[in-house]
Structure 1
């Protein structure tokens, strides 16, 4: 379905507001024309300045009994803001302006009629606000459902890839540990027979068997390499991450991350892997549980200890509920304990989160 351009929609809404003023027939002075024109033209600002567009409709709401322009302005304001206090004030202001007598000083027929008029104006002004809030909630819910569906698809893909990698790795291990071992024994025995055989024909046959066994071993090693690397899972074949890979990790994390401090470059490989995996898991948790937050990774070291601190600010939008095994932080603590260190994590007073890794030097 083809949607109208936003500018054309705004022009149509202004035309509707003008038609409402003309049909109402309350315009009796130049002031009425000016205020009605300002209120209707102000709708052209509703996308960029919804509050200003609403304020421009208030004077005419007091002078005239027009309905379209303030209703459109209230709907747009409610659709664009989450400030409930502002929306309540806007509804109240519109209701007062619509029910107050014009010109000022005009005698009121009776107090009950004034209260009825105010109640009617309050209900009328609240309707577009409720509709705008409903559309805002619907739009946000649709975006969240899309995010959840994408996350689930990604999770299913990761589970399938992990299962495939485990199966291929298991097959590779079986081929390496069983088949390759047996073929190696055949090659060794054939070599021994080749040396000890008194008959030249037997020695030649042993040499052939040994050559075929060696070729088979080479093919097996190649197949094991392909099985472990299948599906893009090259973790077992590529070099393990080091501190030199931290900046690349931060750049590809998908969030705003600041790196401060440094660590010695000559740390043992297990220590470097533990630091890398800790930062990786912490940033994954920030992206998953604190959307819109920024993170800071601080590295420090003394003569005896190394420390890595990852903190993040409070999220700026609600987190998408995703399935989780809750084993990530437990795994980080176990990694730290294996190296004689500690890992702790806890919320911060500013509604963020902090993770600390401390390892012996």
Structure 2
């Protein structure tokens, strides 16, 4: 793509004035003070052509009447044609130039030729054509500028239309997702909560009642979050909705207690860590405990979270499984998501088996204090 290079405004004005002075120097003799004054006035008045084009043309017209130096008048006529839409005004200025250029002004009395002589007709036609050239060129430049502005407006309108179309498609997808979450996921979670509540009431085993109570509490909490997410998705067309409060380090203890796993939590972190780091630590511990429940039932876990030399370390270690794991569905995206989150924050996530047959998940994040 090529870009047009133009002279800066002041440099172009200086060049036009210099060309006009050269025209005066060629056509006007120093011994003619009146003509010389008219030529100099016309040349230096071109500095006003951008802001006062009509006044500039009026100041340059006398030099056409008394001299053969017409460059300044033509430049002023071009500047006027670029900046005005009044066609009758431009026609009048062109006629004024033609009359001035074809009139022989001998001070103190002008001389007018016979308008019906062939030479006079040729001179008038030539002068009129000379005046028409800057007028047509100026109007062409004006039309080009207006066309460029229209093209920019059309491009912006099309870009806005594409944005609206994309937002409309996204809103439809969100509405469909909201319906699926409401009709399928919320219904199934509600059934889990109801069955867990029934088991809690009917069971006489304290351990079973406690497990059922935990399942019911987690199901109810999950159902509330799902309902809030459905409202967020449905409100996407009318404007942004308030998101659910994000977890922090203060929620770790409750997360461990509700996990249903025998776990030992030890934290040594300042309370002024960035919110993104706190969420990453919480989600890492949450994912690790979920994997322990799924893949190592009956195992115990140890959670160690500490802050050393500007780096947060979160290590979750579990013992070997106490009984065979039940086959549960999963997309195997948990660790991938944790690694991606850590990389975005400049950290790392490592995971692997321990020598005793257990498993260890280690998160390292750079975490300068916010204070």
Q: TM-score range by the shorter chain?
A: 0.5 to 0.7
Change (3 A) 1:23 1:193: same
User: Aligned match of 2:198 in 177, 180, 192?
Assistant: 192
The aligned residue for residue 113 of structure 2 is 108
Change (3 A) 1:107 1:94: closer
Kindly provide the CA deviation profile for residues 122-177 of structure 1, in whole angstroms up to 9, marking residues without a partner as x.
00001001111111111111111112112211221122122112211220222123
Change (3 A) 1:45 1:206: closer
Contact 1:228/1:236 (8 A) holds in 2: no
Say whether 1:149 aligns with 2:152: no
Say whether 1:164 aligns with 2:167: no
96-105 vs 55-64, greater mean Cα deviation: 96-105
Kindly provide the CA deviation profile for residues 20-55 of structure 1, in whole angstroms up to 9, marking residues without a partner as x.
122235676222112112211211111121111101
Change (3 A) 1:201 1:59: closer
The aligned residue for residue 15 of structure 2 is 12
Contact 2:103/2:111 (8 A) holds in 1: no
Aligned Cα root-mean-square deviation (Å) = 2.7
* Post-superposition offset of 1:206: 4.3
TM-score by length of structure 1 reads: 0.59
In the alignment, the residues of structure 1 paired with residue 112 and residue 169 of structure 2 have an alpha-carbon distance, to the nearest angstrom, of 81
* Post-superposition offset of 1:97: 0.7
* Post-superposition offset of 1:4: 3.6
Say whether 1:180 aligns with 2:186: yes
Change (3 A) 1:184 1:10: same
In the alignment, the residues of structure 1 paired with residue 90 and residue 53 of structure 2 have an alpha-carbon distance, to the nearest angstrom, of 12
TM-score by length of structure 2 reads: 0.57
In the alignment, the residues of structure 1 paired with residue 112 and residue 207 of structure 2 have an alpha-carbon distance, to the nearest angstrom, of 130
Moved over 4 A (4+): 25-28, 197-206
In the alignment, the residues of structure 2 paired with residue 66 and residue 32 of structure 1 have an alpha-carbon distance, to the nearest angstrom, of 10
The aligned residue for residue 37 of structure 1 is 40
The aligned residue for residue 48 of structure 1 is 51
Instruction: Find the residue that maps to 1:82 and give its secondary structure.
Output: coil
* Post-superposition offset of 1:209: 4.1
Say whether 1:235 aligns with 2:249: no
Gaps of 5+ in 2: 243-371
Say whether 1:128 aligns with 2:131: no
In the alignment, the residues of structure 1 paired with residue 62 and residue 135 of structure 2 have an alpha-carbon distance, to the nearest angstrom, of 19
Say whether 1:68 aligns with 2:71: yes
Instruction: Find the residue that maps to 2:68 and give its secondary structure.
Output: coil
In the alignment, the residues of structure 2 paired with residue 55 and residue 90 of structure 1 have an alpha-carbon distance, to the nearest angstrom, of 9
24-33 vs 109-118, greater mean Cα deviation: 24-33
Instruction: Find the residue that maps to 1:102 and give its secondary structure.
Output: strand
* Post-superposition offset of 1:187: 1.8
In the alignment, the residues of structure 2 paired with residue 107 and residue 141 of structure 1 have an alpha-carbon distance, to the nearest angstrom, of 44
Contact 1:168/1:227 (8 A) holds in 2: yes
Change (3 A) 1:207 1:115: same
In the alignment, the residues of structure 2 paired with residue 37 and residue 208 of structure 1 have an alpha-carbon distance, to the nearest angstrom, of 97
Largest Rg, 1 or 2: 2
164-173 vs 26-35, greater mean Cα deviation: 26-35
Say whether 1:59 aligns with 2:62: yes
Contact 1:27/1:64 (8 A) holds in 2: no
